[in-house]
Amino acid sequence: MSIKLVVFDMAGTTVHDENHVALSFQQAMKKQGYQVELNDVNPLMGYEKPLAIEMMLNKYETDSQKINAASIIQIHTDFVNIMLDFYTNSPEIKPLPNVESTFEQLRSMDIKIGLDTGFSRNIAELIISRLNWENQIDIMVASDDVKNGRPYPDMIQKMKMDLNILPTDEVVKIGDTEVDINEGINAGCKYVIGITTGAFTREELEPHGPTHIIDDISELIAIIKA
């Protein structure tokens, strides 16, 4: 049985990110009066952002009455606007090394390419447009396209349904965070691969049980061919 679909995370896995996502998250929290530490933000970067905001409020807000839908929506709106401005105007938007050549090799092997992300769709689509990836991927599912974001398997399940991938067909998930790994495990992926190009180090990824950990995305091809 061969691999039919590889699902890639975006920031830190396929898209270069010098911690801009975490810094934007920190800035959005600051606009509402919360001085949050980047060391607390980084582990949450793979989660859908409204959930990450709620988790951060639970840590930093002592008045439980202030942890509500309105405050989460406001912080998320600020975060989205900061990210849209960054991804619209920054000259730093670029693929990580060997990503596009890896996409090309997968296409030559007749393997579908999917992107999933903790971003909302408007941010994800902007990134894809800036990188001219519209014709390089087969599908993108954002956190607001499904009921439950990562670590739930909903985004991968939606990809499989939309691409007519059968339950018995084999899927690979690759990402740079704990939540990527848990998503792949929960979705029953054949290979769940952690990559060290983003938020987590090898030592931080290992305890979460990926099938593989790689330092360069090009290493994916050898795993699939093994």
Residue-wise pLDDT tens digits, 166-199: 988 899 999 999 999 999 999 999 999 999 999 8
Is pLDDT at 1 greater than 80 in this prediction? no
**Alpha-carbon span 171 to 178, nearest angstrom:** 18
Residue range 23-28: mean pLDDT, rounded: 94
Average the pLDDT over 14-23 and give the result: 90
**pLDDT for the residue numbered 184:** 97
CB burial class (10 A; 0-12, 13-18, 19+) of residue 38?
exposed
pLDDT tens figures, 142-155: 999 999 999 999 99
Residue 44 is predicted with a pLDDT of 86
Q: Are 131 and 11 in contact (CB under 8 A)?
A: no
The overall average pLDDT reported for the chain is 94
Give the predicted TM-score (pTM) of the model.
0.90
2-19 per-residue burial string, b: 16 or more CB within 10 A, e: under 16: ebbbbbbbbbbbbbbbeb
Which residue reads 């607390």 in tokens? 40
pLDDT bucket at 92, cuts 50 / 70 / 90: confident
Q: What is the pLDDT of residue 8?
A: 98
Banded model confidence at residue 82, pLDDT cuts 50, 70, 90: very high
